[in-house]
């Protein structure tokens, strides 16, 4: 019964996130907003509700969400690809990292090591990961301009895979 409740909670979280992100706006991506961190290493603490508000704030903008941790081996292999594609699509796509079960100094070191220029939020208790219904990092999600989730990848996403998905939306 607890497993079923967890699955239902995860599905509810996804439904709320999808509903919060809908909209037909074609406005270009915003560089910032009240909830979007202004620096890559700010790492403000977020829970699922605050994350969903951030996604609502980004409505009308294609968004790549990457759930990661500095201690995660597969996260290390995908980090350079994420950095490169985020720089290439700056102004077209908003990347947002979700750092889970980590320590801020280690997370900041990871961000600096891989040259990430996009913001990450800090989720030490993995409430965002659990609320979205995933088991562990890395997970990469892509939301189109309408807020529809159009891509999910569990495990290290490769440069080719992410570029193919972004290309299918006309973003690169």
Output b/e per residue, 50-63; b: 16+ Cβ within 10 A.
bbbebbbbbbbbbb
Q: Report the pLDDT averaged over residues 154-161.
A: 96
| Assigned CATH for 2-168 | 3.40.30.10
| Residue 108 to residue 42: CA distance in whole angstroms | 8
pTM across the whole model: 0.80
pLDDT digits (tens, 9 = 90+) for 62-88: 999 999 999 999 999 999 999 999 999
Residues belonging to the chain: 172
| Residue in 130, 129, 151, 131 with CA at minimum distance from that of residue 140 | 151
Q: Report yes or no: 12 and 68 within 8 Å, Cβ to Cβ.
A: no
């Amino acid at each position: 019964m607890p497993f079923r409740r967890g699955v239902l909670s995860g599905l509810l979280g996804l439904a709320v996130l999808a509903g919060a992100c809908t909209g037909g706006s074609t406005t270009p991506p915003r560089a910032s907003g009240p909830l979007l961190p202004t620096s890559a290493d700010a790492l403000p603490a977020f829970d699922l509700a605050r994350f969903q508000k951030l996604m609502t704030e980004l409505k009308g903008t294609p968004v790549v969400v990457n759930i990661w941790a500095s201690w995660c081996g597969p996260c290390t292999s995908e980090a350079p690809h994420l950095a490169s594609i985020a720089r290439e699509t700056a102004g077209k796509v908003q990347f947002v990292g979700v750092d889970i079960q980590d320590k801020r100094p280690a997370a900041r070191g990871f961000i600096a090591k891989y040259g990430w220029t996009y913001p990450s939020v800090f989720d030490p208790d993995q409430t965002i990961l659990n609320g979205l219904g995933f088991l562990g990092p890395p997970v990469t999600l892509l939301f189109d301009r309408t807020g529809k989730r159009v891509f999910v990848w569990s495990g290290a996403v490769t440069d080719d895979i992410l570029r193919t998905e972004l290309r299918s939306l006309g973003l690169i």
